[in-house]
């Protein structure tokens, strides 16, 4: 296995590597000794200890067994599973369809009190209409060759939106104006979505900011889309998979980026004017 595409995961692997190195040294084994006992290439121990290679559960069990501490293996394997959970490929998350993938994030939505969302490509999930959700998930299903459970998956995502109205959840959403001008599902679907955006922007739980196309980007340019869940975790969607970031200093970097992006946005009447202009542009193009 190789290291994972997240600096949070990389740091966690470095911590695990240091722990495994300590176990080996306490057993008075050299790296070559351990590799010989486990039947590995001589460089494998060093690569694991320096976080250049991700060990498998079997590697960890063998490591602990040959170092005389098999009782430590379960905790280390559990740590490995947590590290690997920081990056999940879509093909694994969605292998049984989109419904299960949508359901998997419900607990996170339920426990979060302060959502911070930045989007440069799409209207984010909490603000989507049923038709917009259907268009997005149908495209994902076809692109990734997934089982067709669109109706069920759409319903799960719609049901999750109750957090906009129930409890003490707060939402701060920043959109690039280009999101308003990128038709998803055709003009009719997009018009309905933009109208819905006007409605949800007035909710007490919602702060909606839009960064105008002509905003001065000298200090903060568009970055990857991200969701912040309180100050505990950030998720980022890549082409290949889903990254979960939990390292406090990394979460703080995203919080800082969100503040800078929010400072570029317009709110209230000015934001509604941008949405209305995008609706009018759809009417002209129809």
- What dotted CATH number matches 88-285? 3.30.870.10
Q: So what's the pLDDT on residue 132? A: 98
Q: So what's the pLDDT on residue 128? A: 97
Q: So what's the pLDDT on residue 204? A: 95
Q: So what's the pLDDT on residue 59? A: 95
- What are 284's two structure tokens? 């002209």
Distance CA 19, CA 15 (A): 6
Enumerate the β-bridge partners of residue 176. 211
Q: So what's the pLDDT on residue 10? A: 76
Q: By C-alpha distance, which of 132, 159, 134 is closest to 148?
A: 134
Distance CA 278, CA 268 (A): 16
- What dotted CATH number matches 7-85? 1.10.260.40
If DSSP codes are grouped into helix, strand and coil, which group holds residue 250?
helix
Domain range annotation of the chain:
7-85, 88-285
Q: So what's the pLDDT on residue 2? A: 44
Q: So what's the pLDDT on residue 7? A: 60
Q: So what's the pLDDT on residue 8? A: 63
If DSSP codes are grouped into helix, strand and coil, which group holds residue 170?
strand
Q: Please, what's the b/e burial string for 79-103 (b: 16 or more CB within 10 A of its CB; e: otherwise)?
A: bbeebbebbbebeeebeebbbbbbe
Mean pLDDT, 10 residues at a time, the chain of 286 residues: 55 87 95 96 93 92 96 86 70 80 90 97 96 95 90 95 94 98 94 97 97 95 94 86 80 95 98 97 81
């Amino acid at each position: 296995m190789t290291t994972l595409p997240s600096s949070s995961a990389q740091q966690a692997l470095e911590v695990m590597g240091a722990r495994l190195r300590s176990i080996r040294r306490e057993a008075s084994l050299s790296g070559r000794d351990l590799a010989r006992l486990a039947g590995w290439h001589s460089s494998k121990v060093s690569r694991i200890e320096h976080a250049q290679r991700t060990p498998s559960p079997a590697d960890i069990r063998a490591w602990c067994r040959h170092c005389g501490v098999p009782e430590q293996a379960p905790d280390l394997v559990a740590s490995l599973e947590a590290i690997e959970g920081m990056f999940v490929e879509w093909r694994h998350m969605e292998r049984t369809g989109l419904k299960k993938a949508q359901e998997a994030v419900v607990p996170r939505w339920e426990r979060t009190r302060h959502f911070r969302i930045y989007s440069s490509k799409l209207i984010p999930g909490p603000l989507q209409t049923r038709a917009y959700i259907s268009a997005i998930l149908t495209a994902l299903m076809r692109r990734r060759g997934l089982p067709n459970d669109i109706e069920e998956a759409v319903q799960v995502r719609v049901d999750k939106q109750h957090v906009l109205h129930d409890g003490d959840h707060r939402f701060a959403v920043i959109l690039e104006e280009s999101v308003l001008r990128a038709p998803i599902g055709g003009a009719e679907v997009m018009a309905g979505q933009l109208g819905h955006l006007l409605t949800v922007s007035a909710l007490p739980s919602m702060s909606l900011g839009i960064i105008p196309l002509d905003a001065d980007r000298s200090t903060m340019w568009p970055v990857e889309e991200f969701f912040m869940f309180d100050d505990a975790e950030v998720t980022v969607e890549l082409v290949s998979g889903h990254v979960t970031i939990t390292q406090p200093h990394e979460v703080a970097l995203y919080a800082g980026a969100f503040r800078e992006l929010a400072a570029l946005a317009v709110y209230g009447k000015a934001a509604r004017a941008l949405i209305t202009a995008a609706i009018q542009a759809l009417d002209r193009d129809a």
